[in-house]
Amino acid sequence: MEKHYQKMVADTQDRVVKSLQMQISDRESPRYGGFADPTGIVQAKFAIYRIASMVAVYCNEDTRFYRNGRVFESIMTGLDYVSGVQHENGLFDYITCNFFSAPDTAFCIKKLLPVYQYLKGRQERTVGAELTVEESGILEKVESIVRRGAYGLLQGGFHTPNHRWAIASILMSCSRLFDCEEMEEAAFAYLNEGIDCNEDGEFAEKSAGNYNRINNDAMILLSEATGDSSYERNAVRNLRMMLTYWEPDDSIFTANSTRFDRDRLVYPGDYYIEYLKMGMKYDIPEFLQMCNTIFEIVNRQHINSPDFLIWFMLHPEYRSFEFTGSYHRPDFETFYQESGIARGQQGRFTYTVMNGKSNFLYLHNGSMKLEMKVAGSFCEHRAFQGQQMERVSRGEYHLSQTMRGWYYLPFAEKPLTSDWWKMDNASREKKLGPDMQIDVWVKEVKNGLDVRVKTSGVEGAPWRIELAFSGVDFLTNEYVDLPLTGSEVIVVKQGYTEVGNGRDALVAGPCFGEHHFTEGKEDSEAKTAGAATLYLTAYTPFDREIQIRDRMSQYQH
């Protein structure tokens, strides 16, 4: 992967140039040697990421910073800063939320681990040339930080599912590096809970934009440390699933995430090393093709290549290995039943159907995106969220929800207090009913989707179907041509409406508008930010089918 390597060299050099400007150079500052992030925060994790890149270019003779004195000084002062903020017990703070944090310490060590392994390998003459005096000095400081951090992890403690595997994988790796049985035992205490990767290849947090690859890294590390390939088989399953998660604009589908990456624009660069490792080990052509595709995305989107130069230095075989061809995904349709999500592709567009989400349908055709929601008010409910999802046939899905109506009844006995907030309201008897039933069918058809929405059980409730279009600038139908800026609320009463941007277009209809109660009750979900929203409105009960078709826009600006 020589071309990938050369791109990484160039981009890592650029990272280092920026990092040198971020470093705190005031010797009187308590943060001397640290690096200020874009918000001005200085902390260990951010510093470690900068330092790791610096070590890679300093030790690599193909870079312009090879054995550069300025970079060496920056590395050493940076490592002194990191060591200085490392607690006596080995743990680091993540100062914006977590203190004496085992998971954040694991993430810090994870970034330093290939640096340590590379330098240690050269010291032991298993990789590369003999260390210089300066490189030995770097190794000494890195080893101290890693060793102290690994022992700190023995204290444990985590908040989220992925934290367990981050901690366990670093403990297991360091148990081998430092011959520490206690670390291995501590790692198995986490692993004893069982890996939360289902048969679909999805982890508990469903975080395609971030934590899936964090978990994959941990699984691969565990297999490398233990020799047990069952761990990395989870990563292989996830990487196969992720082949269906790329959108037509090169980004990752993130709307299903339960974490911060939900609905964020994220490109797949950080999956590169996982696709390379697993593709080479298990001879999976599509994984190796994805490595090439990721670098095509890097070039096409004008973004930095992934920060994996040190891995190519640690494993020279990555550089000498070559695989031709890119991954061209064929049209597909797949139902990840356990994860409650269906993904499909037809030609130039992808679609996603999700259970348990108010924005249950997404359609992406390259430069514009459609999100669909069925919304209204019924008791505590403000929008449809599927409780069940089934595959009716290939490309056809049925989602359903029963909203239970209820009212509190007075206590049979006088309560101990008249303060509502202190009453045991959960123990009250309830009057039940009526119930509202909502059923949605999504069916793939030629050039688009048909969506049927049926409500029953309640009469006269003003509900709405929201079609939120992002990346559009024009709406047209039989009656109006309307420029869009991305904040519009539009009720269309009949016919078909085309929404586009000069390159792409979607046509939706037949439209209907029986009311214009589009905001809903005061605690309803907000409309999609930055989207022009087309509303189809009706009073319950109703049974409507909306056709959505993808076609090239007739407006060429």
Q: Please say whether the dihedral angle defined by the alpha carbons of residues 21, 27, 29 and 32, taken in this order, is positive or negative.
A: positive
pLDDT of residue 552: 65
Kindly state the average pLDDT of the residues 238-257.
Answer: 98
- How far apart are the C-alpha atoms of 394 and 348, rounded to whole Å? 19
Task: Fill in the DSSP letter of residue 150.
Answer: H
Element at 279 (helix H, strand E): helix 272-282
Torsion angle, alpha carbons of 199, 291, 118, 138, to 10: -110
Backbone phi, then psi, for 121, in 5-degree steps? Answer: -65, -40
Please report, rounded to a whole number, the percentage of residues in the chain having pLDDT higher than 90: 95
Q: Mind listing the pLDDT tens digit for each residue in 109-141?
A: 999 999 999 999 999 987 778 999 999 999 999
Identify the band that residue 212 occupies on the pLDDT scale cut at 50, 70 and 90.
very high
Going by C-beta distance under 8 Å and a sequence separation of 6 or more, which residues neighbour residue 489?
518, 527, 533, 535
Contact 553, 502 (CB under 8 A): yes
Contact 399, 440 (CB under 8 A): yes
Residue 407 burial by Cβ neighbours in a 10 Å radius (0-12, 13-18, 19+): exposed
Candidate from 36-45, 125-134, 229-238, 352-361 with smallest mean pLDDT? 125-134
Question: pLDDT at residue 80 above 50?
Answer: yes
DSSP-derived secondary structure for 413-447: S--S-S-GGGS-GGGS-EEEEEEEEEEEEEEEETT
Give the model's pLDDT for residue 476. Answer: 96
| Tokens 């891995």 sit on residue | 311
> Which pTM does this prediction carry?
0.94
Helices (H), 442-549: none
Calpha distance 215→436 (Å, rounded): 40
- Check residue 260 and give its pLDDT: 95
Position 557 scores a pLDDT of: 37
Per-chain mean pLDDT for the chain: 96
- At 94, is the pLDDT very low, low, confident or very high (cuts 50, 70, 90)? very high
**Is 194 a residue whose pLDDT tops 90?**
yes
Q: What's at 353, amino acid-wise?
A: V
What proportion of the chain, given as a percentage, has pLDDT over 70?
99
Give the pLDDT confidence score for residue 556 in this predicted structure: 38
Per-residue pLDDT tens over the stretch 137-178 = 999 999 999 999 999 999 999 999 999 999 999 999 999 999
- pLDDT score for 118: 97
